[in-house]
Amino acid sequence: MSRAHGRRLGRAGIRDVAAAAGVSITTVSDALNGKGRLPDATRRHVREVADRLGYRPSAAARTLRTGKSGLIGLTVTTYGEEPFTFTEFAYFAEMARAASSAALARGYALVILPGSTRQSPYDVWSNVALDGTVVIDPSDRDPVVAELVRQGVPVVSDGRPCGDLPVTAWVDNDHEAAVTGLLDHLAAAGARRIGLLTGTSTDTYTRLSTEAYLRWCERAGQDPVYEAYPAHDPCAGAVAADRLLARPDRPDAVYGLFDPNGTDLLAAARRYGLRVPDDLLLVCCSESAVYAGTEPPITTLSLKPGRIGTTVVQLLIDAIEGTGGGDPVQRIMPTDLIVRTSSQRRRRRTTVSAPRSPEQRGQA
C-alpha cells in the first residue's frame, strides 16, 4: 500500500473521517463547516462519525489554506528585560483582560508578544501567523509596527501613535478633557495652587497631560508647580513626591500622573505632617481598587482600560474582517473621575470609613 490511511500519529485526520463515514473529503469538510449543499442526514452522519473519532481539524492546515489564523498579537513596550511596564500594571492587566474577552467572543485569541524585537536568539514575531495586532503605546518609529503594516497586517494602537506611524486605527482617552476636569474639580474643592507629579518620558500620555496642566495653569493664572521623574523607576516616584512637597512654593493640591503616586504622595504628606485632605488635596491616575481603602481614600482618575481594550479589539477585528465600513479610524474614550475623600475639603466621616459602593470597586 502506498499510503496507510490509518491514523499515523494517534490523531484522526479528515481523511480518516471520510473513510469511516463512507464519503469524500469534500463532503466531510462541507458537513463540518456548514457549507455546500448537503442533506441534513449526511451532515448529521458525518458529524457523528467525526465526534466518534475525536476528530479535530488541524489549525495549521486551516490557517495555511484560508490565510486566517484567528490570532491577534498583543504588544507592549518593554523596559529592560521584562515585557510589561511596571508602572501601569493594573492598567495593563485590566486592558488585556477586556481585550482577551472581546477577542474570544468573536473567535479570536490573543498572543502576548514583545514590543521591540531585541537580539533574541529567536524571532518570535515571524514564527506566529497573526491576523492583526494590538499595540499599546507605540513608540515613535516602532520597527515592529512598520514591518507589520508593510506586510498588510492591520494594527490598532491603544494610545494615539506618535509621529506618523501608519496604524490602521487607534483608541485613546481624552487626556486634555480629563486633566482639565480634574483640575477644575480640585479648584472647586478649594485648591489655590495645584501641583503636578509627572514623568520625564515623551510618550503621548505624559506629554498631553502635562500640556493640559500647563494650559490650565495659564488660564487659571497660577504658576505651574511640578516635578518630573522617570516613570519606569518605582523608587523615583517616592523621591519626586517628597521633592514636590518640600518646595518653598508647596502646592495645596497635587495630581499624580502615575499609579503609585497616590501612596507616594500620601507617604510624603505624612512625613511633612500634612493632613489629607485638610492641608493637601490629592488625586492620582490609577486603576487600582486599593485607593478606595487607603486612609483616607484617594480620588482617582480612571482611564477605563477595560473599555479601551474592548474597543481596540473590536476595531481590529472589524478591520481584519473588512466589516469596518466607513467608521472613523480613531476613537476618543472618556475617562472617569472617582471622587473620594482625598479631594474633598469638607470633612466627612473620618474614623468610620464610608462603605464602598460597587461603583468604586467594580472595574468595568
Partner DNA sequence: AACGTCGGAAGAGACGATTCTGCAAGCCGC
Partner DNA sequence: GCGGCTTGCAGAATCGTCTCTTCCGACGTT
Span interacting with a second copy, options 15-23, 173-181, 312-320, 352-360, rule CB under 8 A: 352-360
Q: Does 152 bind a second copy (CB under 8 A)?
A: yes
Dist. CA 151–CA 36, nearest whole Å: 33
The three three-digit cell numbers of residue 362, written as one number: 467594580
Q: What string marks each residue from 87 to 106 as x (binds a second copy by CB under 8 A) or -?
A: --xx-xx--xx--xx--xxx
Which alpha helices (H) appear in 174-272, and where do they start and end? Answer: 175-188, 204-220, 234-246, 261-271
Span interacting with a second copy, options 14-22, 34-42, 233-241, 340-348, rule CB under 8 A: 233-241
Closest distance to DNA from the beta carbon of 31 (Å) = 8
Q: Does 357 bind DNA (CB under 7 A)?
A: no
Span interacting with a second copy, options 21-29, 155-163, 223-231, 265-273, rule CB under 8 A: 265-273
52, 54, 58, 124: residue in contact with DNA (rule CB under 7 A):
58
Give which of DNA, a second copy, none residue 23 binds (C-beta under 5 to 8 Å, depending on kind): DNA
Dist. CA 277–CA 289, nearest whole Å: 19
Strands (E), 83-240: 109-114, 132-136, 155-158, 169-173, 194-199, 225-229
The sheet with strand 281-285 has its strands ordered as 225-229, 194-199, 253-256, 281-285, 299-302, 336-338
| Cβ pair 239, 86 in contact under 8 A | no
| Cβ pair 32, 46 in contact under 8 A | yes
Burial class (CB in 10 A: 0-12, 13-18, 19+), 188: exposed
Residue type, 293: G
Give which of a second copy, DNA, none residue 116 binds (C-beta under 5 to 8 Å, depending on kind): none
Q: How many CB atoms lie within 10 A of CB 276?
A: 21
Q: Does 79 bind a second copy (CB under 8 A)?
A: no
Q: Does 305 bind a second copy (CB under 8 A)?
A: no
Give which of a second copy, DNA, none residue 260 binds (C-beta under 5 to 8 Å, depending on kind): a second copy
Whose CA is closest to 160, among 188, 139, 186, 181?
139
Q: Does 110 bind a second copy (CB under 8 A)?
A: yes
Interface size with DNA, residues (CB under 7 A): 34
Q: Does 337 bind a second copy (CB under 8 A)?
A: no
Dist. CA 9–CA 56, nearest whole Å: 13
Q: Which is nearer to a second copy, 102 or 186 (CB)?
A: 102
Q: Does 97 bind DNA (CB under 7 A)?
A: no
Q: Which is nearer to a second copy, 48 or 184 (CB)?
A: 48
Span interacting with DNA, options 2-10, 195-203, 208-216, 261-269, rule CB under 7 A: 2-10
Which residues have C-beta within 8 Å of that of residue 176, sequence separation ≥ 6? 208, 211, 212
1, 2, 322, 364: residue in contact with DNA (rule CB under 7 A):
2
Dist. CA 119–CA 142, nearest whole Å: 15
Give which of a second copy, DNA, none residue 289 binds (C-beta under 5 to 8 Å, depending on kind): a second copy
Question: Which residues of the shown chain bind DNA in the complex (CB under 7 A)?
Answer: 2-3, 8-9, 11, 13-15, 22-27, 29-30, 32-33, 35-39, 42, 55-58, 60-62, 64-66
